[in-house]
Amino acid sequence: MVERMLKFVGTPQAMPAKRSAATRRRDHDEIYAGYAEAKAAEQAGRCSQCGVPFCQVHCPLGNHIPDWLKLTAEGRLEEAYEVSQATNSFPEICGRICPQDRLCEGNCVIEKGFESVTIGAIEKYVTDTAFERGWVRAPRPRRELASSIGIVGAGPAGLAAAERLRRRGHAVTVYDRHDRVGGLLIYGIPNFKLDKDIVQRREALLRGAGIEFRLGVEIGRDLALAELRSRHDAVLLATGVYAARELGGPGAGLPGIEPALDYLIAANRVGLGDRLPAADERRLDARGKRVVVIGGGDTAMDCVRTAVRQGAASVTCLYRRDRANMPGSQREVRHAEEEGVVFSWLAAPQAFDGAGRLERVRAIRVHLGVADASGRQTPREIAGSGFELEADLALKALGFDPEPLPTLLAAPDLATRANGTLRIDSKSFQTSLDGVYAAGDIVRGASLVVWAIKDGRDAADALHARLAARAATRAAA
């Protein structure tokens, strides 16, 4: 073991410098600065190089974390980058937006008493350094193959699959209904977590690799799935899940109650320089409004922190479970609290009041009862504990469900599960339609970006193997 490692016993955890809450409330810039090289090496040197690296076990991509931490500690940054990108198509993105406190860092074996290694910040540093020094290059296949693959969806799953397939030599065309590449990376995640230049920098590399993008094309409306299948040797559906779950209760249809994703897309479009229709600009801007965000996941955290930056009069997060049971990142909760967000834990909405538009949210306190089939405790209302929150804008951040793809794609034989996700063969990633594959949230259900990248890479490998086997069979015949 080199002397540079095992420093956790004498070197405390140190995150990169974080801008003050008062400063970051006024803009949408990323809140952390980067590490200096010496500090990155020092923090990487805290890794214990344990025999069973639980950080790696709990990373969906199985990243070789101890290996690139050791290389970083030794100043071998180009090698650290090569090891990092070997298992992760977009390490510069995961280093910024992965909930490391729930994944790799939360399972670091030195966490208790010594605080975990700052894996995400080091991953971000290594990859940003690689871009700055010209080590990141567009993937170039060793040889071109005759096969053509169409991918529906330019989000993380589709892009990861496209990068992987192009590296193998396939011709790849990515179709997306939006006007920019990135899906939720560009329109769903705020700049203070993921600057859009980071996504566009990666897009430029993918275009440089020869991947073609057809934007503003909605499959099923502008182009039939049958036509897509005739154009390509295989089609991969990576559409994600975008249908917002609805609120019930009296007044749930009042103006002033909006889906969280509509709100985030509008905010990101403004940040990208787009002009919104006047009605949308008024409806989806939190400036001067009393905002209540309903939900406790990462989307809810993105909403509350965006509302603060837009100049909301007040921002409250209403969540029916307690802090310990919140699905969102605890680090994000701390950032939101620093920025002035109020959290109303163990509280659920009952009704929405207002004369023609939203004026208040009626809610009730709850307690957590016995666990349900998923293992999570079921919220139970506490009689007589009702209260009201004045509100001009309520954002529904309750999660997402799949859109009805068999109907939208005019493909009634496209098999789905009871929850609307696509049914696939677990080994080949093929759907019930021959030559049509699927990956990401449209198969898994709404999940993390890192899982979408994992699924996209795995689907690409399975698809390549199947096409290669077919080509070998034809050649032998």
* Averaged pLDDT for residues 190-215: 97
Check pLDDT > 60 for residue 2.
Answer: no
Check pLDDT > 70 for residue 364.
Answer: yes
414 lies in some domain = yes
Q: Are residues 364 and 257 in the same domain?
A: yes
**What are the two backbone dihedrals, phi and then psi, of residue 246, each rounded to the nearest 5 degrees?**
-95, 155
Check pLDDT > 70 for residue 223.
Answer: yes
**Best CA proximity match to 188, nearest among 448, 1, 405:** 448
**Best CA proximity match to 59, nearest among 24, 94, 15, 12:** 94
Contacts of 272 (CB under 8 A, 6+ apart): 180, 186, 196
Rg (CA), the chain: 23
279 lies in some domain = yes
- What percent of the chain is modeled with pLDDT above 90? 88
Q: Are residues 14 and 122 in the same domain?
A: yes
Q: Are residues 255 and 225 in the same domain?
A: no
Lowest mean pLDDT among 135-144, 323-332, 394-403: 323-332
Q: Are residues 289 and 377 in the same domain?
A: yes
* Averaged pLDDT for residues 168-187: 97
Check pLDDT > 60 for residue 3.
Answer: no
Residue 393: DSSP 8-state: E
Q: Compute the distance between CA of residue 467 and CA of residue 19 in angstroms, rounded to an integer.
A: 50
Contacts of 466 (CB under 8 A, 6+ apart): 234, 428, 430
Quote the pLDDT of residue 114: 84
Q: Compute the distance between CA of residue 327 and CA of residue 323 in angstroms, rounded to an integer.
A: 9
**What are the two backbone dihedrals, phi and then psi, of residue 60, each rounded to the nearest 5 degrees?**
-55, -30
Check pLDDT > 70 for residue 422.
Answer: yes
Contact 429, 41 (CB under 8 A): no
Quote the pLDDT of residue 475: 81
Residue at a domain's end among 339, 371, 396: 396
Quote the pLDDT of residue 1: 42
Instruction: Return the axis-axis angle of helices 330-338 and 298-309, rounded to nearest 10°.
Output: 20
Per-residue model confidence as pLDDT tens digits over 66-94? 999 999 999 999 999 999 999 999 999 99
Give the CATH number, domain containing residue 284: 3.50.50.60
- For residue 3, how many other CB atoms are within 10 A of its CB? 8
Note the helical H segments in 45-110. Answer: 54-57, 65-73, 77-87, 91-97
Amino acid at site 136: V
pTM: 0.95
Give the CATH number, domain containing residue 33: 1.10.1060.10
- What percent of the chain is modeled with pLDDT above 70? 99
* Averaged pLDDT for residues 153-163: 98
Q: Are residues 158 and 196 in the same domain?
A: yes
Contact 176, 183 (CB under 8 A): yes
Contact 421, 443 (CB under 8 A): yes
Q: Are residues 253 and 392 in the same domain?
A: yes
Q: Structurally, how many domains does the chain consist of? A: 3
Per-residue model confidence as pLDDT tens digits over 41-67? 999 999 999 989 999 999 999 999 999
**Best CA proximity match to 174, nearest among 94, 221, 231, 131:** 231
Q: Domain range holding 220?
A: 148-241+402-476
* Averaged pLDDT for residues 430-453: 97
Please give the mean pLDDT across all residues of the chain: 94
Residue at a domain's end among 359, 376, 396: 396
* Averaged pLDDT for residues 310-325: 95
Quote the pLDDT of residue 271: 95
